[in-house]
Every structure is written in structure tokens, then in C-alpha cells.
A = this chain, B = another copy of it.
Amino acid sequence: MATRAQRTPSQLIEPELMAAALEILGESGPEGFTIRAIARRAKVAPMAIYNHFAGKDGLLEAIWIEGFTLLRRDLEVTSINPNNKFFDTAQAYRKFALTHRSHYTVMFMHRFIGFTPSPYAVTVALATFQTLERLVKSAQTVGIFSDYNAVDAAQMLWSTCHGFVSLEMLDINFATNRDETFLEFIRGVERGVAYSNK
């Protein structure tokens, strides 16, 4: 027996490659993220990555698009109460990042050598930012963020979350208790940015 490994059904190849890619990225980081290692993990031929994705960059793009789509969905289901939107959105953002570390790494943390997201992938990312913008506009209907235009306020919200979370993922976050310090941080930013009357 074993003259040749079992052949994987076509429909299973893409999800198994995605799963393997995310696992490898989570376990070994970008340095372990190689075509041969991913294929080995997925029990699939290296060539499958070229037949089902556009090579390594295509796989990264698939992770990018899935990541921004998931983040957008997570942000959209936050509180319907405009008064809580800043707090809830920040919480949802951090939860997404810590729950989908591999996705977040591709989206924001690591510039993979050779990988440039396609124009379509960029529009998906833009749509996620526009979701943030819409959340801000909704909050502005009850007087929050009234000092800034929506784009700038959305950028501040994003910066707040990404700053804390990315340092956390790089393990250069020395906060005594990361969960609590993040809460204190976004409450503080909320006081100063969202409810201010400078």
C-alpha cells in the first residue's frame, strides 16, 4: 500500500488549506508560513495552493478578505444604543483581534514580503472602515463625537483600539491587567474624545 497518498476531494481543499494556513500562522508566525508547510498540514499537494488560490499571495489575500469581512460583521452587531457605541465597538474590535490573531496579523501586523492586496481586497478593507464611520455618525445623532467630522473620529477610534491591541499582540504591552487597562483606556478616550466640549 501507500504508493500514493489519499486524494483529497476538491470541495474540501480550499477550507482545509485556509484552516491549515491560519493554524500555521498562529503557531509558527510568518516565518513558518510556507507553501510546503501549509500543504503538509492540510494533507494536500503544494500545487493545490496554486490550483485553488493564486499561490501564497492568493492565500494571504483570502485571509485578508475573510478577516475584514468578519471584523465588519462583528462591528455591525454592536449595541444599537448610540450612547454605548464607542465602548461596544472598541470591545468588539479587541475581541476580534485576540480571537482571530492570524487574520489580524495579515490585516495589520505584518507586511508579508511580496504580498500586496488587490484593488478588490482594498475595497473590502475600505468597507470595514466605512462601517466604523457609520457607527460614529450614528453616535453623533445623540451628541457624541460632535467636535469632529465622522472620518476623523472614526480614525481616532480605530487608532485607540489598534494601538493597544497591536502592542498587546507584539507582547510589548506591560499593563498590569490588559483587560482592565483596555477598559480604562477606552473609557478615558471616550471621556476626552467622544463627550468633550473642547
- One digit per residue, 1 when the CB lies within 8 angstroms of any chain B CB and 0 when it does not, for chain A 175-198 equals 110000100110111111100101
We find that the number of chain A residues with CB closer than 8 angstroms to chain B is 46
**B198 pairs with A175, CB closer than 8 A:** no
Segment of A15-23, A42-50, A73-81, A144-152 in the binding face: A144-152
Number of identical monomers bound together in the oligomeric complex: 2
Interface: A84 (CB within 8 A): no
Q: How far is the CA of A46 from the CA of B114 in the complex (A)?
A: 22
Interface majority SS (helix, strand, loop, mixed), chain A = helix
Q: Are A152 and B125 in contact (CB under 8 A)?
A: no
Is the Cβ of B174 less than 8 Å from the Cβ of A129? yes
B-contacting residues of A (Cβ < 8 Å)?
A: 29-31, 108-111, 113-114, 125, 129, 147-149, 151-152, 154-156, 158-164, 166-167, 170, 172-176, 181, 184-185, 187-193, 196, 198
Q: Which of B111, B159, B190 contacts A30 (CB 8 A)?
A: B111
Q: What are the 5 closest A-B residue pairs judged by CB atoms, nearest first? A: A163-B163, A192-B192, A191-B192, A188-B193, A159-B163
Residues of B within 8 A of A111 (CB): 29-31, 109-110, 170
Also in contact, A159 and B160, with CB within 8 A (given A191-B192, A192-B191): yes
Known contacts A108-B170, A111-B110, A160-B160; is-contact A175 B151 (Cβ 8 Å):
yes
| With A111-B170, A147-B184, A162-B163 already in contact, 17 other A-B pairs whose C-beta atoms are closer than 8 Å | A29-B111, A30-B111, A152-B175, A152-B181, A154-B174, A155-B181, A156-B181, A159-B160, A159-B164, A161-B163, A166-B166, A185-B193, A187-B192, A188-B198, A190-B192, A191-B198, A192-B192
